[in-house]
Structure 1
Amino acid sequence: MPISPNSVTKTRQFLKCRLQTDMTNFHGFRTEWDHIRDLLFRTAEHGESNSALLLGPRGCGKTTLITSVLADLLPDQNFYRNTLVVYLNGYLHTDDRSALKSATAQMNLENAVDGKVFGSFAENLAFLLDCLKAGDKRKSKSVVFILEEFDLFCSHHNQTLLYNLFDVAQSAQAPICVIGITARLDVVELLEKRVKSRFSHRQIFILPPMNDFEGRIELFKKLLKLSTDKERKEYIKLHKPISVEALQNRELPLLRRVFNPNMYSFDSKYITQWNKHIDELASSPKVRTVMQNLYEYDVIEGTFKGWLFELVSQLSEDNTLITVESVQQLGQQFECDEKINMLCGLSVLELCLLIAMKHHSEIYDRDPFNFEMILTRYNKFANSSSTMQGIERSVILKAFEHIKHLELIAPVSGVTSKVQKEYQLQRLLLTYGQINQGVMRSQNLPTEISQWAQSSLV
Structure 2
Amino acid sequence: MNDISEEQILLGIYMVCEKIMLPSAVFRGHENEKTNVLTLLKRTIEFGESNSALIIGPRGSGKTTLVRHALRELRQAPSFDAQALVVRLDGRVHTDDHLALKQITRQLGLEAAVGDKVFRSFAENLTFLLECLKSGGRDTSKCVLFILEEFDLFCGHHNQTLLYNLFDVAQSAQAPVCVLGLTVRLDVVELLEKRVKSRFSHRQVFVLPPADKRAGLASRLGLLGDLLALPDDDGGVRLFDPVFLHCWNGSARQLAGDPEVRRVCKALCDVDESEAAFRTFLTQVVSKLSPQHPFLQASDFTEVYELISRDPLVNLLTGLSLVEICLVISMYHHTDIYDGEPLNFEMVLHRYMKFVSQNPSAEMAQRPVLLKAFEHLQKLEVVVPLVSGGREVLKEFQLHRFLATPDQVKRAVKMMDARLPTDVQQWALSSNH
Alignment TM-score, normalising by the size of structure 2: 0.68
Asked whether 1:77 is paired with 2:78, we answer yes
**1:91 to 1:21, Cα distance in 2 relative to 1, 3 A:** same
Task: Name which one, 1 or 2, has greater alpha-carbon Rg.
Answer: 2
Q: Secondary structure at the match of 1:88?
A: strand
What's the CA shift for 1:98? 0.8
**1:325 to 1:197, Cα distance in 2 relative to 1, 3 A:** same
Asked whether 1:306 is paired with 2:307, we answer no
Q: Secondary structure at the match of 2:223?
A: helix
Q: Secondary structure at the match of 1:180?
A: strand
Structure 1 gaps of 5+ residues are 234-261, 342-437, 442-458
For residues 74-101 of structure 1, the C-alpha deviation after alignment (integer angstroms, 9 at most, x for no partner) is 1211122211000111111111111111
Alignment TM-score, normalising by the size of structure 1: 0.64
Asked whether 1:281 is paired with 2:282, we answer no
Asked whether 1:192 is paired with 2:193, we answer yes
Asked whether 1:13 is paired with 2:17, we answer no
Measured in 1, the distance between the counterparts of 2:237 and 2:95 equals 38
For residues 31-54 of structure 1, the C-alpha deviation after alignment (integer angstroms, 9 at most, x for no partner) is 001111111111111111111111
Structure 2 gaps of 5+ residues are 316-410, 415-433
**1:266 to 1:64, Cα distance in 2 relative to 1, 3 A:** farther
Measured in 2, the distance between the counterparts of 1:72 and 1:264 equals 29
**1:313 to 1:221, Cα distance in 2 relative to 1, 3 A:** same
**1:264 to 1:308, Cα distance in 2 relative to 1, 3 A:** farther
Partner of 1:333: 307
Partner of 1:218: 222
Asked whether 1:46 is paired with 2:47, we answer yes
Measured in 2, the distance between the counterparts of 1:297 and 1:54 equals 23
Paired residues of 1:293 and 1:335 also in contact (CA < 8 A): no
**1:265 to 1:168, Cα distance in 2 relative to 1, 3 A:** farther
Measured in 2, the distance between the counterparts of 1:128 and 1:102 equals 12
Structure 2 letter corresponding to 1:93 = H
**1:198 to 1:268, Cα distance in 2 relative to 1, 3 A:** farther
**1:95 to 1:337, Cα distance in 2 relative to 1, 3 A:** same
**1:76 to 1:264, Cα distance in 2 relative to 1, 3 A:** farther
Partner of 2:119: 118
Partner of 1:63: 64
Partner of 2:359: none
Asked whether 1:150 is paired with 2:137, we answer no
Measured in 1, the distance between the counterparts of 2:14 and 2:39 equals 35
Structure with the larger RCO, 1 or 2 (CA within 8 Å, 6+ apart)? 1
Measured in 2, the distance between the counterparts of 1:331 and 1:47 equals 51
Paired residues of 2:48 and 2:139 also in contact (CA < 8 A): no
Measured in 2, the distance between the counterparts of 1:223 and 1:10 equals 15
Partner of 2:266: 292
Measured in 2, the distance between the counterparts of 1:218 and 1:138 equals 45
Measured in 1, the distance between the counterparts of 2:49 and 2:11 equals 46
Paired residues of 2:289 and 2:296 also in contact (CA < 8 A): yes
Partner of 1:203: 204
Give the fraction of aligned pairs with identical amino acids, expressed as a percent: 49
Q: Secondary structure at the match of 2:146?
A: strand
Query: Please, which moves more after superposition, 296-305 or 143-152?
Result: 296-305
What's the CA shift for 1:295? 2.1
For residues 158-200 of structure 1, the C-alpha deviation after alignment (integer angstroms, 9 at most, x for no partner) is 0000000011111111111111111111111111111111111
Q: Secondary structure at the match of 1:198?
A: coil
Structure 1 letter corresponding to 2:265 = M
What's the CA shift for 1:20? 2.8
Structure 1 letter corresponding to 2:136 = G
Paired residues of 1:56 and 1:207 also in contact (CA < 8 A): yes
Asked whether 1:320 is paired with 2:294, we answer yes
For 1:231-380, what aligned pairs fall within 5 Å after superposition? 265-337=239-311
